[in-house]
């Protein structure tokens, strides 16, 4: 071995990597330095790393690719020690990392693991070669870079095994070149390459070693090779592995494989607040109004930090997300907008933002920064374009249903909804630029507390003939039934409210409604980017709720709308309203299990349950609706896309009030998916889903298929 060559290679390539890494760190600093404490709850964060980064739970959503990736990941972890050993042998041929000596049990055990994982890594890489060459996957970025990286990994594994195999043969043939009259040059070179674990038995016949199955396989291939060939193969194998690792390291900051470095930190630093929560722009409406006024008065509204309008408005954690994208395309493969041909592809949105950031690399490295608070006045300013429309087409942003299918599928926990909503916030609040169809819902929520702009006085008209108590008349009621706008005004959804109230009365629940005092939670406004309107509605509702609690009532809030459920449970605490919030499927299942409700009749036939995004992916409620249906006798079947892979109905993110961008409608695609089960009934647990799927059945000419909320089916069995 040549210590001078190893030193030059190691220092040169490691130095080059440090230079590249420092440039990427500097680029990370372009992001807003808004304080986010991501070093709390350390045990929970370490649990996230184990679950998502080490055991790679989400990778197995795509089983074959997931297992192949895990083999490569675990193999690299095991073989890291091997790489350290080889680097050490460049300086000292007998180096074994002190604890992996040829006679030690630890060294023998590691030799076995090393060979097994080298072979498994080869198998894993061949799976991805198959997916790129033989059966290309549309979701993946199929570039020469990907094949080059796979080639590097394959060559590294083969070179390592070839080095071992040639060294084992040299060991067996030791007397041949170091006998009575050895060639000193050949003897010295070969002796340095002799396999360390076999060095104590030089000259013994070549035999298969179960300790090193991979090395033994290559030794069998080289058994009849000349001494010169063996030393050449061993030398090439050694230097190829030792050098390719460092070359691979230098490729990482400039490729999608940067995630090898950033994935674990990205998972560890993930948001620990509720999944369904969007961060408020300001703690209250007054302060938010001040921010908006200040931004509106700015000479350059692109610099206004109300939402995101330029790349520097993204936080450092957002930029770490960009670095961590693996370009696997799982997000887009499950995105309802992408599936139905809209302009939105979560993967390509992330890549567009990342590539735009990378375009600033050289100038940032020279000390320039986009204008942001806290920099010395002499800092040279780097002008950057507006994100919309220069980097991101506005149709990309307005196609998002905020369903979180992308985030659920991302194996490295990248978030997308928060970034899209932040860009919407800037467009709506600062630029007044949003789809015209949202004018009426915004006006309706502000004027009458509902997106249809119907009279506030009609909010409780659905209760006619039911004798439903109001909180104003019954302020000590412990359970507040939060009806929501859809079940208050939509003729079809009113049946959900009536069924719920009837079941609560049947079970003897002490409940009441707010009636005219209830107003929209503001979910459509917030997801559409109108943060000011949401903040105003949230403050008004929070004040009402807290006032009644102070009078001795309202301990639990019961909802039939998942959007209301999510806002009240996960977002209203930011506005001082902290209550136990329960979805109706959970609550009514509890009443059924307690015997307070009894099913006197069975629901006949097959029932397929459609998972609401805001119940399922946002809040993890998958089992309660299904269990409830089973308890009343239904034969529950699963759609091809169900549970965490359930396809959105198309109504979320204020899409309920907008026209879709092309003729391939999300609700129709979802309806076809549900109809493929041959079910007699489609069950939902969301009034918006109900509307979208009812329209889907009409579009498909399948109106004979029943479409009902879970609570309606329960009422038919219990009332």
> What would the mean pLDDT of 655-680 be, rounded to a whole number?
94
Residue pair 113/79 in contact (Cβ under 8 Å)? The answer is: no
Lowest mean pLDDT among 107-116, 449-458, 564-573, 647-656: 107-116
pLDDT value for 211: 84
| The predicted structure's pLDDT at residue 95 | 84
pLDDT at 208: 79
Tokens representing residue 557 in the block: 């809030």
Q: Which DSSP category does 407 fall into?
A: H
Q: Could you tell me how far CA 102 lies from the centroid of its own chain?
A: 44
Query: 510 vs 26, 446, 475, 507, 685, CA distance in Å?
Result: 59, 31, 11, 9, 23
- 246 and 14 in contact (C-beta within 8 Å)? yes
Where does the pLDDT of residue 154 fall: very low under 50, low under 70, confident under 90, or very high at 90 and above?
Answer: very high
pLDDT at 514: 97
Q: Tell me: pLDDT of 189 over 80.
A: no
Query: Between these two residues, 95 and 623, which has the higher pLDDT value?
Result: 623
Q: Lowest-pLDDT range, 271-285, 343-357, 370-384? A: 370-384
Over 80: is that where the pLDDT of 296 sits?
Answer: no
Structure tokens of 515?
């009636």
Confidence of residue 372 (pLDDT cuts 50, 70, 90): low
Write out pLDDT tens, residues 692-716.
Answer: 999 999 999 999 999 999 999 999 9
Residue 209 binned pLDDT confidence (cut-offs 50, 70, 90) = confident
Q: For residue 349, count other CB atoms closer than 10 A to its CB.
A: 25
> Is there a shared CATH topology between the 443-593 domain and the 600-718 domain?
yes
Which backbone phi and psi does 531 adopt, to 5 degrees? Answer: -65, -35
The model's pLDDT over 49-64, given as tens digits with 9 standing for 90+, comes to 999 999 999 999 999 9
Q: Is the pLDDT of residue 199 over 60?
A: no
Once rounded to an integer, what is the mean pLDDT over residues 597-607? 93
Residue 367: the pLDDT is 80
pLDDT at 657 > cutoff 60:
yes
Give the DSSP per-residue string, 181-241: S--HHHHHHHHHHS-GGGGGGTTSPP---TTSHHHHHHHHHTTT--HHHHHHHHHHHHHHH
Distance between CA atoms of 224 and 240, rounded to whole angstroms? 23
Q: What is the pLDDT of residue 201?
A: 56
Given a cut of 70, whether residue 450 has pLDDT beyond it is yes
Q: Strand 556-559 relative to strand 580-583: parallel, antiparallel, unpaired? A: parallel
Rounded Cα distance, 716 and 354, in Å? 53
DSSP 163-187: HHHHHHHHHHTHHHHSSSS--HHHH
Of all residues in the chain, what percent carry a pLDDT higher than 70? 94
| Digit-coded pLDDT (tens) for 262-278 | 999 999 999 999 999 99
Q: How far is CA 171 from CA 93, 176, 624, in A?
A: 14, 10, 66
According to the model, what pLDDT value does residue 71 have?
Answer: 94
Mean pLDDT of 310-323: 93
Q: What is the pLDDT, as a whole number, of residue 448?
A: 96
Can you give the pLDDT at residue 206? 75
Assign 107 a pLDDT band (cuts: 50, 70, 90): confident
Whole-number mean pLDDT of the chain? Answer: 91
Both structure tokens of 58: 């989400």
If you classify domain 600-718 with CATH, what class do you get? alpha beta
pLDDT at 399 over 80: yes
Per-residue pLDDT, 144:
84
Around Cβ 640, how many Cβ atoms within 10 Å? 12
Banded pLDDT at 202 (limits 50, 70, 90): low
- Of 561, 554, 610, 598, give the one whose Cα is nearest residue 583: 561
Question: pLDDT at position 422, please?
Answer: 96
Instruction: Identify the CA nearest to 385 among candidates 319, 310, 301, 318.
Output: 310
| Token pair recorded at residue 577 | 């309203």
SS (H, E, C) 603-653: CCCEEEECCCCCCCCCCCCCHHHHHHHHHCCCEEECCCCCHHHCCCCCCCC
Q: Any idea which of 200-204, 262-266, 481-485, 599-603 has the lowest mean pLDDT?
A: 200-204
Task: For the beta carbon of residue 318, count every other beta carbon within 10 angstroms.
Answer: 22
- Tokens found for residue 524: 């459509």
What residue spans define the domains of the chain? 60-254, 285-434, 443-593, 600-718
Q: What are residue 609's DSSP bridge partners?
A: 683
In b/e form, how buried is each residue of 610-633, taking b as 16+ CB within 10 angstroms?
bbbbbbbbbbebbebbbebbebbe
pLDDT for position 1? 62
- Topology annotation, domain 443-593: Rossmann fold (3.40.50)
Question: Which token pair is 443?
Answer: 């006006």
Q: Which residue(s) pair with 580 in the sheet?
A: 556
Q: Which segment of 104-108, 341-345, 536-540, 579-583 scores lowest on mean pLDDT? A: 104-108
Is the pLDDT score of 304 beyond 80? no
Beta bridge partners of 682: 608, 707
Query: Which pLDDT score is estimated for 465?
Result: 93
Cα–Cα distances (Å) from 514 to 247, 469, 480, 484, in that order, read 66, 9, 8, 10
DSSP string over 345-387: -HHHHHHHHHHHHHTTHHHHHTT-B-S-TTS-TTSPB-----S
Residue 550 predicted with pLDDT over 70: yes
Length of the chain: 719
* Arithmetic mean of pLDDT, 526-532: 97
CATH number of 285-434: 1.10.1060
> Does 77 have pLDDT greater than 60?
yes
Token digits of residue 697: 């059945």
């Amino acid at each position: 071995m040549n210590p001078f060559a190893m030193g030059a290679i190691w220092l040169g390539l490691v130095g080059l990597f440090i230079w590249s890494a420092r440039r990427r760190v500097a680029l990370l600093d372009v992001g807003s330095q808004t304080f986010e404490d991501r070093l709390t709850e350390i045990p929970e964060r370490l649990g996230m790393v184990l679950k998502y980064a080490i055991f790679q739970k989400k990778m197995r959503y795509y089983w074959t690719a997931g297992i192949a990736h895990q083999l490569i990941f675990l193999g690299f972890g095991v073989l890291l020690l091997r790489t350290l050993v080889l680097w050490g042998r460049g300086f000292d041929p007998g180096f074994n990392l002190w604890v992996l000596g040829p006679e030690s049990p630890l060294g023998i055990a590691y030799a076995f693991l090393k060979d097994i994982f080298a072979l498994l890594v080869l198998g894993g890489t061949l799976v991805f070669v198959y997916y790129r060459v033989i059966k290309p996957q549309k979701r993946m970025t199929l570039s020469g870079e990907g094949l080059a990286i796979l080639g590097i990994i394959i060559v590294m594994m083969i070179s390592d095994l070839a080095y071992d195999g040639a060294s084992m043969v040299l060991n067996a043939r030791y007397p041949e070149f170091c006998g009575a009259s050895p060639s000193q040059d050949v003897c010295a070179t070969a002796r340095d390459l002799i396999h360390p674990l076999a060095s104590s038995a030089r000259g013994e016949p070549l035999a298969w070693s179960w300790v090193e199955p991979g090395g033994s396989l290559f030794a069998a291939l080289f058994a009849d090779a000349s001494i010169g060939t063996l030393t050449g193969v061993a030398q090439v194998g050694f230097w190829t592995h030792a050098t390719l690792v460092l070359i691979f390291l230098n490729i990482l900051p400039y490729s999608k494989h940067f995630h090898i470095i950033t994935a674990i930190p990205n998972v560890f630093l993930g948001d620990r607040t509720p999944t369904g929560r969007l961060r408020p722009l300001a703690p209250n409406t007054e302060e938010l109004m001040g921010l908006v006024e200040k931004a509106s008065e700015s000479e350059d509204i692109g610099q206004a930090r109300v939402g995101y309008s330029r790349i520097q408005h993204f936080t450092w954690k957002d930029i770490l997300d960009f670095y961590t994208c693996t370009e696997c395309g799982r997000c887009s493969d499950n995105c309802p907008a992408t599936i139905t041909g809209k302009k939105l592809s979560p993967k390509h949105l992330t890549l567009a933002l990342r590539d735009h950031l990378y375009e600033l690399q050289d100038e940032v490295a020279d000390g320039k920064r986009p204008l942001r608070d806290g920099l010395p006045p002499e800092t040279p300013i780097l002008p950057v374009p507006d994100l919309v429309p220069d980097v991101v087409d506005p149709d990309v942003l307005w196609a998002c249903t905020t369903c979180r299918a992308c985030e659920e599928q991302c194996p490295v926990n990248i978030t997308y909804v928060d970034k899209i909503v932040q860009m919407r916030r800037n467009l709506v609040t600062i630029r007044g630029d949003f789809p015209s169809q949202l004018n009426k819902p915004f006006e309706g929520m502000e004027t009458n507390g509902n997106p249809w702009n119907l009279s506030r006085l009609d909010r409780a008209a659905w209760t006619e003939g039911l004798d439903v108590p109001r909180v104003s008349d019954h302020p000590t009621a412990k359970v507040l039934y939060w009806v929501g706008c859809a079940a208050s005004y939509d003729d079809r959804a009113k049946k959900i409210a009536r069924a719920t109230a009837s079941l609560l009365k049947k079970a003897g629940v002490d409940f009441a409604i707010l009636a005219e005092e209830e107003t929209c939670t503001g979910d459509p406004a917030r997801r559409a980017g109108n943060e000011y309107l949401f903040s105003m509605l949230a403050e008004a509702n929070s004040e009402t709720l807290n006032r009644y609690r102070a009078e001795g009532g309202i301990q639990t809030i019961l909802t039939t709308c998942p959007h209301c459920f999510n806002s009240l449970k996960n977002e209203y605490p930011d506005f001082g309203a902290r209550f136990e919030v329960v979805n109706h499927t959970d609550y009514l299942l509890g009443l059924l299990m307690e015997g307070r409700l009894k099913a006197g009749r069975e629901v006949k036939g097959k029932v397929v349950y459609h998972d609401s995004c805001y119940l399922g992916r946002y809040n993890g409620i998958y089992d309660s609706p299904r269990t409830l249906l089973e308890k009343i006798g239904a034969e529950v079947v699963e759609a091809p896309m169900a549970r965490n892979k359930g396809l959105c109905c198309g109504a979320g993110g204020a899409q309920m009030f907008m026209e879709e961008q092309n003729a391939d409608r999300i609700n129709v695609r979802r309806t076809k998916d549900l109809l493929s089960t041959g079910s007699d009934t489609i069950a939902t647990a969301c009034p918006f889903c109900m509307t979208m799927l009812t329209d889907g059945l009409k579009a498909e000419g399948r109106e004979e298929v029943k479409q009902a909320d879970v609570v309606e089916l329960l009422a038919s069995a219990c009332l």
